[in-house]
A and B are shown apart, each in its own frame.
Chain A
């Protein structure tokens, strides 16, 4: 057991909630809680090493085997479709992927295709393909709610937690695509080669989650 088990966490709120979970099963990650600037945090006691990365990058690190496991939002998995094992729903970072827009849809640019603004182009395309609707995607990086207000798009596809931002900007949820939460993902080779250690963590997390419910 000379090797640290590596876990990638998405920087930000999810990392803090995930840390609580990991601490509850006896893995010390207090530096993360205390807002360290270090990007690699080791707990020699449990031989676990945490890597802090951007939410968008977690799945890539896991898929390429740079880390053994990761905590990542389901939204990223839907968008990136990485080749990895998605083994556990951690029940944190809960929100919904939705289609939203003005209550009364406006006729837009006199076009038959719906224009969809989103940070999640793949998810949006898949959703509308299933609906057999033709769309045009405008790929934005943030403040997606703005797009329908200034005539950039008809609707948006985005994450919604409380719905307040939508409400304050006069948008309503038109359809819910799916619920989102943070998932524990595992590299395909690691699950086999580090099976014992990974399963120990999985089992403990499952128990902790059951208790929390």
Chain B
């Protein structure tokens, strides 16, 4: 056995103060957007019975989940996902409440083998679930909320790609092939592997318009109107037609929100989670090579928990958003409201009173009672991202020194409050 006392396992990490501040601000921004749309926050247990995650539509492989046993030997898992526990919660504890349930959560989830490209085994999801709304209006609203959340969190240059799983699923229903073959074709389309799609179709003797369409699906992405027009040129069955109508309607809702510029379409986006039944979407930004949010409609998941209710939702990967924010704006000042108040034994009481007044106005005031030199305090402040040092002067006057420039002003408690207590909102606005 090695000695791992000073290490953490692969795929988990300490979050140091600077990053933690950004993460919490991001969560607060997203929470604000969710609350603003009338959604209500819920929590579910960190661990649950394995059965919750392993029946019916549930999608995660057993080996993806951290398992525990309870004192009676029953298998528990540490939640690998939030959609399934919320489906369970809605179908049981919220059964008597009138629908729809418009819920959200901000929670850590856990995966044994890490989550996709960045391989994190613990990460934070901020997500929305709308249970009991069948119409595509809810999908359009979900996507609009996701756009608003990205914008408010300060993510720049992002986009959301929209697809509808039934487009491809209805089309392959026309070919008489086994489930396994369908899975292969789905896999090729997902990777936009035109060579393999063509080989597959030739082998299965699929010809004519159907072959032409299947070969086009991987490249049917981009501008919404343009993609819908090109897809509409083909003779489509009812399922595929309806899929396009769904997308069109969702897009017009998103346009009404004023977010048309943030969306595009990808009809080659196929079912990656078996529970998806309609519109699906993925959000990404230029500065990160993998998706930062995803979601879609899942009309039959509730059935696994004994309730018949259509649903739709999405989750934002907060860790990835934070990563994108860092890449886009590494120099961001993060502590505009933070001060250090220097005092010594003789004026400690006065310093404490002053700090209390500033704190009551929402400022962050750290007392330095070590009586070290101003130089050392300035160095410390610079390292910790604190912008200003306050020293007590004659009477109620205060000297505020700017850590970066060394310049100072003489002011008072009301003066500081007037200048800096609005700093927080400015900071968030400054992200855009």
The finding on whether chains A and B are genuine partners in a shared complex, rather than unrelated, reads yes
Residues of A within 8 A of B (CB): 63-66, 83-89, 186-193, 195
Complex interface: stretch among B42-50, B284-292, B403-411: B284-292
Q: Which residues of A contact B195 (CB under 8 A)?
A: 88-89
Interface flag for B159 (CB, 8 Å): yes
Q: Which residues of B contact A187 (CB under 8 A)?
A: 289
Q: Which of B159, B196, B290 interacts with A65 by CB under 8 Å?
A: B290
Residues of B246-303 at the interface with A, using a CB-CB cut-off of 8 Å, are 264, 266, 284-286, 288-291
12 A/B residue pairs, CB under 8 Å, sorted by A? A64-B117, A64-B118, A65-B290, A85-B192, A87-B192, A186-B192, A189-B284, A189-B288, A192-B159, A192-B161, A192-B284, A193-B286
- Tell me if A85 and B191 are in contact (CB < 8 A): yes
Interface flag for B116 (CB, 8 Å): yes
- Tell me if A64 and B289 are in contact (CB < 8 A): yes
> Measured between alpha carbons, how far is A88 from B193 in the docked complex, in Å?
7
- Tell me if A86 and B117 are in contact (CB < 8 A): no
Q: Is the interface of B mostly helix, strand, loop or mixed?
A: mixed
- Nearest-neighbour CB distance to chain B for A98, whole angstroms, equals 19
Q: Which residues of B contact A87 (CB under 8 A)?
A: 192-194
> Measured between alpha carbons, how far is A87 from B197 in the docked complex, in Å?
11
- Tell me if B222 and A195 are in contact (CB < 8 A): yes
Q: Which residues of B contact A189 (CB under 8 A)?
A: 284-286, 288-291
> Measured between alpha carbons, how far is A195 from B219 in the docked complex, in Å?
11
- Nearest-neighbour CB distance to chain B for A50, whole angstroms, equals 18
- Tell me if B192 and A86 are in contact (CB < 8 A): yes
Interface flag for B221 (CB, 8 Å): yes
Q: Which residues of B contact A63 (CB under 8 A)?
A: 117, 289-290
- Nearest-neighbour CB distance to chain A for B64, whole angstroms, equals 15
> Measured between alpha carbons, how far is A192 from B289 in the docked complex, in Å?
11
Q: Is the interface of A mostly helix, strand, loop or mixed?
A: mixed
Q: Which residues of A contact B161 (CB under 8 A)?
A: 192
Interface size, B (range): 20 to 34
Complex A-B, nearest 3 residue pairs according to Cβ-Cβ distance, in ascending order: A65-B289, A85-B192, A86-B193
> Measured between alpha carbons, how far is A65 from B290 in the docked complex, in Å?
7
- Nearest-neighbour CB distance to chain A for B270, whole angstroms, equals 13
- Nearest-neighbour CB distance to chain A for B117, whole angstroms, equals 5
> Measured between alpha carbons, how far is A103 from B244 in the docked complex, in Å?
56
> Measured between alpha carbons, how far is A88 from B117 in the docked complex, in Å?
22
Q: Which of A66, A89, A195 interacts with B289 by CB under 8 Å?
A: A66
- Nearest-neighbour CB distance to chain A for B189, whole angstroms, equals 11
Residues of B129-165 at the interface with A, using a CB-CB cut-off of 8 Å, are 157, 159, 161
> Measured between alpha carbons, how far is A193 from B191 in the docked complex, in Å?
17
- Tell me if B290 and A188 are in contact (CB < 8 A): yes
- Tell me if B192 and A83 are in contact (CB < 8 A): no
Select from chain B the residue with minimum beta-carbon distance to A195: B222
Select from chain A the residue with minimum beta-carbon distance to B196: A86
Residues of B283-334 at the interface with A, using a CB-CB cut-off of 8 Å, are 284-286, 288-291
- Nearest-neighbour CB distance to chain B for A156, whole angstroms, equals 26
Q: Which of B193, B286, B290 interacts with A64 by CB under 8 Å?
A: B290
Q: Which residues of A contact B285 (CB under 8 A)?
A: 189
> Measured between alpha carbons, how far is A191 from B117 in the docked complex, in Å?
17
> Measured between alpha carbons, how far is A89 from B286 in the docked complex, in Å?
26
Q: Which residues of B contact A86 (CB under 8 A)?
A: 191-193, 196
Answer whether A83 and B264 are a contact pair too, CB < 8 Å, given A64-B289, A65-B288, A195-B222. no
- Given A87-B192, A188-B291, A189-B288, list of 8 further CB < 8 A pairs? A85-B192, A85-B193, A86-B196, A188-B290, A189-B285, A190-B289, A191-B192, A192-B264
Select from chain B the residue with minimum beta-carbon distance to A130: B180
Q: Which residues of B contact A195 (CB under 8 A)?
A: 222
- Max chain B CB contacts within 10 Å: which of A65, A189, A190, A192? A189
> Measured between alpha carbons, how far is A19 from B289 in the docked complex, in Å?
25
> Measured between alpha carbons, how far is A85 from B288 in the docked complex, in Å?
16
Q: Which residues of B contact A192 (CB under 8 A)?
A: 159, 161, 221, 264, 266, 284
Q: Which residues of B contact A186 (CB under 8 A)?
A: 192
